[in-house]
Structure 1
Amino acid sequence: MLSVLLYGSECWKSTANIEKKLKVFQTKCLRRIMRIVWPNMISNEELRHRAGASTISEIIATRRWRWLGHVCRMPIDSMPRVALRWTPQGKRNRGRPKETWRRTVDRDLKTRGPTLQTAPAIAADRTKWCSLAVSSSTRRRRED
């Protein structure tokens, strides 16, 4: 179910509304799979613990992190790497969404340490890059 639901999720912008809808869907599916019905009330955290599942937000953030590392290891003139550095000129039209994929990545980078400028140097070392992804997801679980 997750592979179909999260297809291409590493390229999604991440808003609170999108994350909430995905979290509700995951919880609903887990409750059906585990056959937990209305009279048997358990918390969502207990449900995820019993199922051995991570939150959808953590899974998407990890996928986004892996994709960012892949892009940072690409040659400088490759299209994804150029698109990562590209900043359009001018202002956004009125009513356009302020949250973008790049702003989502910047927010992820702030929680994990590196900046967008230092990320390519860190991503060159795959083990260090992967350790940043793992340490961040375990840190989020402890905060919950």
Structure 2
Amino acid sequence: MERAMLGFSLRDRIRNDEIRRRTKVTDTAQRISKLKWQWAGHVCRRTDGRWGRRVLEWRPRIGKRSVGRPPARWTDDLKKVAGSG
């Protein structure tokens, strides 16, 4: 879409980061990741026992597990990047 905004085709062989620099559009995945980490830091600093931290650490044990890959949790991503320490 950004290529179309600038009028470039794939044949022009202009790199994506150059197009991003010209359009000044932020990458959605990076923005989501940044906001996720900001929220996680905010929740970790709280000490008043609100539900945010309890939701992050909640492990449901109702019924049977579904077949296949288990759904990813926010804490799984946080532990993968920052470590479990």
**Larger of the two Rg values belongs to structure:** 2
SS at the partner of 2:12? coil
Match of 2:82 among 73, 88, 109: 109
Match of 1:86 among 55, 58, 76: 58
- Could you say what the CA RMSD is over the residues aligned between the two structures, in angstroms? 2.7
Structure 1 residue ranges without an equivalent (≥5): 1-27, 118-144
Q: Which residue of 1 aligns with 2:28?
A: 56
Determine if contact 2:44/2:53 at 8 Å carries over to the other structure. Answer: yes
Amino acid at match of 1:68: A
Runs ≥4 in structure 1, deviation > 6 angstroms? none
TM-score, structure 1 normalization: 0.45
Percent sequence identity is 29
Higher relative contact order (CA 8 A, sep 6+): 1
Q: How does 1:22-101 map to 2 (within 5 A)?
A: 28=1, 30-89=2-61, 92-95=65-68, 97-101=70-74
TM-score, structure 2 normalization: 0.67
Give the structure with the larger helix fraction. 1
> What is the aligned length?
84
